[in-house]
Amino acid sequence: MNKASLQLRDGSQTNLKVSPRRGHFCLVLRTVPILGIVFLFFLSGCKQEPRVYIKHFKNKDYQLRVDGRPYIVKGICYSPIPSGKNHEYDWWSDPRKPWLVDGKLMQEMGINTIRLYQAHEDMEKVKTVVGDLYEKYGIRTILGSWLGFWEYPCPFYGDKKFRERVKQEVVDMVNSLKGEPGILLWVLGNENNYSCLGHVNPWSSEEIDREPDPQKQKALRAEVYYSFVNEIAEELHRIDPNHPVALGNGELVGLEYANKFAQKVDLVACIIYRGRTFGNLFRSLRATFDKPVLISEFGADCYDAYAKKEDQNMQAFFLESQWRQIYENLAGNKRGMGNCLGGTMFEWTDEWWKHNPDNPAGWSEHDTASNWTNGSYYYDIKVEGNKNMNEEWFGIVALSPGRAGELDIRSPRKAYYVIREFWKKPDLNNKKKKVKTK
Amino acid sequence: MKKLVAILAVLALAIPVLASAQTDTTQKEFVVYSNKNARNNHYIPSGWMGDTGDIKMNDQSADNPKDGATAIQFIYSAKKTQGQGWAGVYWQNPANNWGNKKGGFDLTGMDKLTFWARGAKGGEVLQKVMVGGIKGTYPDTATVEVGPIELTENWKQYTVNLAGLDLSYINGGFGWATTSDLNPDGATFYIDDIKFEVDPTLKPEGKKQEAMPFYIYSDRSTPRNHFIPSGWMGDYGDIKYDGASKEDPYLGDSCIKIIYNGQRAQGSGWVGIFWQNPANNWGTVDAGFDLSKATKLTFWARGAKGGERIEEFKVGGIMGEFSDSDSVVIGPVLLDKEWKQYSIDLKGKDMSYIIGGFCWAANVDNNPEGATFYLDEIKFE
């Protein structure tokens, strides 16, 4: 058997088996280069990391692309804290791997993305979770960073050393995980913008303290914070050109400053609780901070605080209405603004620790007390004190304690099925009957 | 025989009552109230509200009636007898039905309500007139409010467009309400010939874009004011509100004075007031105004001492079944002792549906001894 070698485009060589029959040899010689190129293209395609980017259309619509194909984020916020534990529980290290049970249920529903607010400090564990979900169920991960927001004492965005340390942590995280094919994009911060108003985790600096006008103080804080996010985004683009970087933001508060100081982010990931609609959010963004938007936290609880009973219909009604608006504002839909990339609803499973995080006894109780009020979830707003939002009841999957040593039992709620059907056949007709409640 | 006569008599009385529960769809009009004891009156002016002690009613006033022998005369004294600062009357069926019993009428097919009204002097202001809107176990199927209306000395007919509305159950056939701020010296006015009518030419009324300027507060007794400062929030017991302060108004004869004592009456540590349409609408009522033409909201403010800190001034932002279409906030603001104009930029905002026209909020942390401040000339431009 004779052998011939063929120089390929990339400079490498490959050996060909040569047929003793000349005609065949010529055919092979003509065909092999083409096949080789195709083969190499395929090969290189296999090796290449999935590239995620946002396509900007001429009509100013925005669309997320993954491996060159449109990708609607049909996502869920994921924090699988079991009953009896609180937010400090290390579910990443759970040998029962709850994400495998959840991933299967998610896949059956049609979820293609989870959102994690913060990575575990052990990047190998993160790789395991991200890899398992992607390889077994095709579910990608949006990974965030709190940007030090929940450290104690308060975040010091005015302090250069603090900023440098937080930035390095994010850079390290991205360097560790950017090669994971299951990563979809990065989110910087969550509702950190509220700290600029002093509403939560207030912080300052000498320069800010010298300013007597509180409005100017707010503007100075916003400049510091959004410039910091911008700086990180710029660095992440340098080290990882394959994944977009989002600015996490509570509502649209402060985005007029982001427009000035955070242009390097690729999109904004907004936390929105406005009941059955997002109002004019999509239009308003066009005017204030014209970036693609991911609704990175939204949803509804399923406990009627007024009737004092679970109401799965109420949750399903709000969620379906919210998803309808998200779809109306995807690229190419003339009814909307074309600037939405999808959403990650809040949340997968209930979290039983939330009503009173400091009381371990309460972590094993599914508390029905309400923590806050929001009139746009109007079915139960008449409850005494108007506290109608039940923080422990936002899961689209209910938990009930499993047998000793076993995971909590997962029971999908009505919203799980309603949204599953909506995704299968998105019906944007808003004139459907309201879901009957109570 | 006597028994038969008695049964017939009962039936004779009962049948018209039963029949009245549904309107004859072929009739062109359905009278709410024409003259006292008229056989075609279907509603009774029984639902007195607010400062009921401020109202006197003469339902057989012969003083220049519009039609027939009499009209209804109302004398509103504005003395705040019950401390409310407002008063009103609903025409109900049956009398005093606040939605607790089945009554009312199916007025499907009617397109409008008309009534005639005049003031004793001219210039009297009705804050609003209402059709439907009574809640309770048996709620009206529609709620329509129109106003404010400045009455003239001569009779004038007013029309409330009801086209396209669900009128299948209307217990509150008609109503009026007004305030002592709008009529500080009281008001005497007359109403006559209130009726529902068929008018196939009428189209359902969409929200019209309001012309600018559109006042929230100009002066205490002007019909140009819109929205009601009814949405008291947080430590509402810490607030005293005077919508007719004479203490150095910026313009006109009055301004708003707000005293916040910082006592944490409800334990919240903060307070605020929303100006709403209609009063107390936290997004539960489909109402409000289309202020799409507005590019800014301006107002004048000053502190009693200077240095009072208002955390935010806001337009919109009420969230409910019928949420405001947008929300714009400025603040915190440190007030000067002198009047200063502030502006909330509305360019690029969706002002097409606003039920919360204006709002302020302050807290005790930044006003440990409370705050007294003044507002004037609040308007969309």
For the purposes of burial, counting CB atoms within 10 Å of the CB of B123, is it exposed (0-12), middle (13-18) or buried (19 or more)?
middle
Q: Which of residues 207-246 of A touch B (CB under 8 A)?
A: 212-215, 218
Query: Which residues of chain A lie closer than 8 angstroms to B319, CB-CB?
Result: 274-275, 374-376
User: Is there a contact between A277 and B320 if contact means CB atoms under 8 Å apart?
Assistant: no
Domains annotated on chain B, with CATH: 19-197 (2.60.120.430), 214-380 (2.60.120.430)
CA dihedral (A252, A253, A257, A260) in degrees, to 10, reads: 0
Q: What is the pLDDT, as a whole number, of residue A33?
A: 53
pLDDT at A279: 87
pLDDT of residue B4: 47
Q: CB of A283 within 8 Å of any CB in chain B?
A: yes
Confidence band (pLDDT; 50, 70, 90) for A34? low
The alpha helices in A71-213, defined as continuous H runs, are 98-109, 123-137, 160-177, 206-210
CA distance B289 to chain A (A): 16
Better-scored residue on pLDDT, A287 or A220: A220
Of B284, B326, B349, the CB nearest to A378: B284
Q: According to the model, what pLDDT value does residue A29 have? A: 46
Give me the helices (H) in A21-97, please. Answer: 22-47
pLDDT band at A274 (very low <50, low <70, confident <90, very high): very high
Among A2-11, A58-67, A344-353, the range scoring the smallest mean pLDDT is A2-11
Q: How far is CA A349 from the centre of its chain?
A: 16
Q: Which two tokens stand for residue A98?
A: 């709850």
Cα–Cα dist B361/B375, whole Å:
13
Q: Which residue of B has its CA nearest to A279?
A: B325
Phi, psi of B5 (to 5 degrees): -60, -40
**Rg, Å, chain A Cα set:** 25
**Which run of H or of E encompasses B31?**
strand B29-33
Interface test with B, best of A200, A276, A376 (most B CBs within 10 A): A376
Task: Determine whether the interchain pair A280/B282 forms a contact, defined as Cβ–Cβ distance below 8 Å.
Answer: no
Give the global pTM.
0.77
Name which of A216, A318, A378 to mutate to probe chain B: the one with the most chain B Cβ atoms within 10 A of its Cβ: A378
Nearest by CB to residue A274, choosing from B323, B348, B349, is B323
pLDDT of residue B23: 52
Give the rounded distance of the alpha carbon of A354 from its chain centre. 21
Are the C-beta atoms of B176 and B128 separated by less than 8 Å? yes
Residues of chain B with pLDDT under 50: 1-2, 4-21, 25
Contact yes or no for A107/A135 (Cβ under 8 A)? no
* Contact of A267 with A292, CB cutoff 8 Å: yes
Segment A299-325, tens digit of pLDDT: 999 999 999 999 999 999 999 999 999
pLDDT of residue A419: 98
DSSP state, residue B137: S
Q: Which amino acid is at A298?
A: F
Structure tokens at B110: 């009617």
Whether the CB-CB separation of A293 and A339 falls below 8 Å is answered with yes
Helix pair angle (A160-177, A214-239), 10° resolution: 30
Contacts of A280 in chain B (CB under 8 A): 325-326, 349-350
Q: How confident is the model at residue A36 (pLDDT cuts 50, 70, 90)?
A: low
Beta bridge partners of A247: A188, A268
| Length of chain A in terms of residues written | 438
pLDDT band (50, 70, 90) for residue A385: confident
| B209 backbone φψ class: left, alpha, beta (φ>0; ψ -120 to 50) | beta
Q: A180 and A132 in contact (C-beta within 8 Å)?
A: no
**pLDDT above 60 for A111:** yes
| Cα distances (Å, whole numbers) of residue B366 to A206, B210, B361 | 20, 37, 11
Residue B369 near residue B263 (C-beta atoms within 8 A): no
Q: What is the pLDDT of residue A10?
A: 35
Residues A170, A130: Cα–Cα separation, whole Å: 17
3-state helix, strand, coil in chain A (%, to 5): 40, 20, 45
Q: Where are the beta strands (DSSP E) in A151-305?
A: 183-188, 245-250, 267-271, 293-297, 303-304
CB A380 within 8 A of CB A391: no
Residue in chain A nearest B309 by alpha carbon: A214
Amino acid at B247: E
The answer to whether A137 and A182 are in contact (CB under 8 A) is no
pLDDT at A168: 98
Confidence class of residue A23 from pLDDT cuts 50, 70 and 90? very low
Q: Is A374 on the interface with B (CB under 8 A)?
A: yes
Phi/psi for A434 (5° steps) reads: -65, 150
Query: Burial of A251 by CB count in 10 Å (0-12 exposed, 13-18 middle, 19+ buried)?
Result: middle
CATH hierarchy code of domain A51-424: 3.20.20.80
Q: Given an 8 Å threshold on Cβ–Cβ distance, is A214 in contact with B283?
A: no
Given B282, B348, B350, which is nearest A375 (Cβ)? B282
Contacts of B98 (CB under 8 A, 6+ apart): B47, B92, B134, B135, B136
Q: How far is A280 from chain B (nearest CA, A)?
A: 6
A156 pLDDT above the threshold of 80 = yes
Mean of pLDDT values over A92-120 = 98
Compute the mean pLDDT over every residue in chain A, rounded to the nearest whole number: 88
Task: Report pLDDT for A429.
Answer: 76
CA distance B82 to chain A (A): 26
Q: Where are the domains of chain A?
A: 3-44, 51-424
Structure tokens at B341: 């104009």
Cβ neighbours of residue B5 closer than 8 Å, sequence gap 6 or more: none
Cβ distance B319 to A277 less than 8 Å, yes or no, reads no
Q: Is the peptide bond before B332 cis (omega within 30 degrees of 0)?
A: yes
Task: Determine contact, residues A392/A367, Cβ cutoff 8 Å.
Answer: yes
